[in-house]
Every structure is written in C-alpha cells, then in structure tokens.
C-alpha cells in the first residue's frame, strides 16, 4: 500500500511517494491499475487524467504535472493508494480548513476571487490552491477542490493575476 496525506500535500505541493515528472507507467506501477483513465480529447493517444479514489493525476504527453483532490465520493478504484483526507469532504467549511492549516503549521494566504463573490481561495506554502464555494447556502463556503500544477499557471492563479492587472490598469 502507498500511504499519503493531504496534510503533506498542502505543505509541499506534492505527495510523499508520487512525484511530479512520473510517467503514466510509473504511477500505475506504484498505485496499480484503475478503470478511471480520461483523455482530454477523444482522439488523445494516452489518458490525460488518471484517477485513484478522490485524487486526479494530470499528465502532459510524457509526465505528471498536476494533482487535484476532489472531495466527492465516486465509485473510483483506490488501487494501492491509501490517502488520509483528514475528514475533509465537500461539506468541510473554510473555517475548519483554516483551523487545520494553522494547527499543522501550514502557511497559507487567502487570495481574492475578484470574479465571483461566492468563491474563496487559499494558497498554501506548497502552492496548493484550496477552492471553496457556496454550493447550497450563500455565504457558507465549503471545500470544492484542491489543486497543484507545475510548469503551468493554474486556472485560479491565472484569473487572480488577470484581474489584478485589469484593476491596476483601470486605476491608471
């Protein structure tokens, strides 16, 4: 079994046993087979996303460049992956996650989501984006997903920077 923890992922931006740069073959050798392999477009030769349990692994043509945690339970193979999610689910509030980060000495900052007042973002010291939204009740922010990518700018970072620049230009 391969034991991982979200706590380590939040602090470092990666898992202890799964490294950025892994090939698909190396990931499957480590975690076993899964029935959840998804090409980005239908004619892709190789899967772009390989999922075990609640963790999605994103690949370029050759290597792992992104990890995403989706706190929803689906019927997806766990393979050899055993991840401690620290009881974080899609019902976990932003306040609970902040308490968890503080308790575990994981530095973070809140980044404004200028484009949507029903989204809140935390960025950890490991460059993991924690995304919260109000799915059921306005003002009640719950965990939507977490993500870390290398070699590219994540969607959240790109939106944050784009809107900062737009605001800066409107002041000039």
Number of domains in the chain: 1
DSSP-based three-state secondary structure for 69: strand
Over the range 108-120, which residues count as b (16 or more CB within 10 Å of their CB) and which as e?
Answer: beebebeeeeebb
Q: Say what the pTM is.
A: 0.84
Containing structural domain, residue 82: 2-171
Q: Which residue in 60, 59, 71 sits closest to 6, CA to CA?
A: 71
d(C-alpha 145, C-alpha 132), whole Å:
7
By DSSP bridging, strand 108-111 and strand 37-38 are unpaired
Residue 132 has pLDDT above 80, yes or no: yes
DSSP-based three-state secondary structure for 58: strand
Question: Average of pLDDT values for 123-133?
Answer: 95
d(C-alpha 20, C-alpha 29), whole Å:
15
Query: Which range is least confidently modeled, 133-137, 162-166, 167-171?
Result: 167-171
In the numeric block, the tokens 């784009």 are attached to 162
């Amino acid at each position: 079994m391969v034991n991982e923890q979200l706590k380590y992922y939040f602090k470092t931006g990666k898992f202890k046993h799964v490294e950025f740069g892994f090939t698909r073959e190396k990931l499957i050798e480590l975690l076993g087979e899964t029935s959840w392999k998804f090409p980005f477009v239908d004619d892709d030769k190789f899967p772009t996303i390989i999922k075990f349990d609640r963790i999605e692994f994103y690949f370029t043509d050759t290597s792992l460049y992104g990890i995403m945690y989706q706190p929803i339970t689906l019927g997806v193979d766990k393979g050899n992956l055993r991840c401690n999610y620290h009881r974080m689910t899609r019902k976990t509030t932003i306040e609970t996650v902040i308490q968890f980060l503080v308790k575990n000495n994981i530095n973070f900052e809140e980044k404004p989501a200028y484009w949507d007042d029903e989204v809140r973002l935390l960025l950890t010291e490991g460059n993991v984006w924690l995304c919260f939204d109000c799915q059921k009740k306005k003002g009640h922010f719950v965990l939507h997903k977490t993500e870390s990518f290398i070699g590219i700018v994540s969607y959240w970072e790109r939106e944050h920077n784009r809107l900062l620049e737009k605001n800066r230009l409107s002041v000039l």
